[in-house]
Amino acid sequence: MNAIPDLPGFPDPVPDSQAAFRAILWAQSHPGAIVTPAPALIVPAPLPVAAGALLLTLADADTTLWLAPGFAPARDWLRFHTGAPEAPLSRADFVLAEQLPALETLGTGSDDSPHDGASLILPVAALGEGTRCRLSGPGIDGTGDFAATLPPGFAAFWAANHALFPRGVDVFLCAGSRLAALPRSVTLEVL
């Protein structure tokens, strides 16, 4: 049994989740672009608002979730509003991490079903500043500049992840209510 949380989900679920979906789709199809999927959403601390919006929009009873211990205060809220059951790290569809996990601990799909690779939601202090990177790949005309306060070891993590393509994980970096996506198809070079 899970407790009933104090907070509601999206204030106006249908249009809010559609708008958030549209924003997340934009972020994924324009790697490195910064979007704000749900500016008005109130989420339980310490969950980043963007991470809450993403999970309300994409997670449901058919997807599984792994929560880092630090996000335990958001567990009931996520469970109640998404219906997503929890799963061990290696089998979770959505991984809400505090620190960068080792790539081998995540589900990266199979060559038959690369879409089974996990979506890794990683809170960062800031987007648009911090480590400067150059991105290239599908969705980017030539190359694109990108900056975020990336965790230590991210460049090596990303190189290994990209090398697995079409397998691998997709990353969502969340800073407060803002979010940027790094699909596994993208190459990232730290400047």
Query: Please, how many CA atoms are within 13 Å of residue 89, restricted to the half-sphere of its CB?
Result: 14
Q: Give CA–CA dist 164/16, Å, rounded.
A: 34
Closest CB 117 distance from another protein, rounded Å: 18
Closest CB 156 distance from another protein, rounded Å: 36
Phi–psi pair at 130, nearest 5 degrees: 105, -140
Closest CB 54 distance from another protein, rounded Å: 16
Burial class (CB in 10 A: 0-12, 13-18, 19+), 45: exposed
Q: Is 40 one of the binding residues for another protein (CB under 8 A)?
A: no
Closest CB 181 distance from another protein, rounded Å: 23
DSSP string, 35-55: E-S-TT----TTS-HHHHHHH
User: For residues 86 and 145, which CB has a smaller minimum distance to another protein in the complex?
Assistant: 86
Ranges within 59-118 binding another protein (CB under 8 A): 60-62, 79-81, 83
For the chain, count helices (H), then strands (E): 4, 9
User: For residues 83 and 88, which CB has a smaller minimum distance to another protein in the complex?
Assistant: 83
Ranges within 10-39 binding another protein (CB under 8 A): 13
Which residues are at the interface with another protein (CB under 8 A)? 1-9, 13, 60-62, 79-81, 83
